[in-house]
Amino acid sequence: MRPNGGVASFSPRVGIEGRTSHGHNVSAVLLGQAISFDPGGENDEVTGLAGVTVSVDVAGGVSAFADAEVHAATTASPISF
C-alpha cells in the first residue's frame, strides 16, 4: 500500500508457445488489395516464456502498468527480448 492510497500488484506468468509452418507463402485479400508474404522462420518452433506485469492504482481511478517478458526458443539465440 502506498501512502497516497495506491495499490501495487504483480501478475507473473509462464507459458509455452508453439508454431508450425507448412508452405512457402501466405496469400490474402486485405481491404480489396491482394497481399502475399513469406512468414519465414523454421517449420516447427517451440518457445518458453516468463513475464510479469506490474500495475499501480493511482488517485482518480487512473492505473499505470509496466510489462516485461523473456522468451527462450528452440531456434536462434537462447534468449531473445
Question: Looking at residue 80, what is its pLDDT?
Answer: 40
List the domain boundaries for the chain: 8-73
Sign of the dihedral defined by the CA atoms of residues 35, 40, 46, 48, in that order: negative
Chain position carrying cell 526458443: 73
Q: What is the mean pLDDT of each run of 10 residues along the chain (81 residues)?
A: 68 88 78 83 79 88 90 62 39
pLDDT for position 16: 92
The pTM score is: 0.53
| pLDDT given for residue 43 in this prediction | 67
| Beta bridge pairs of residue 34 | 29
- The answer to whether 72 and 45 are in contact (CB under 8 A) is no
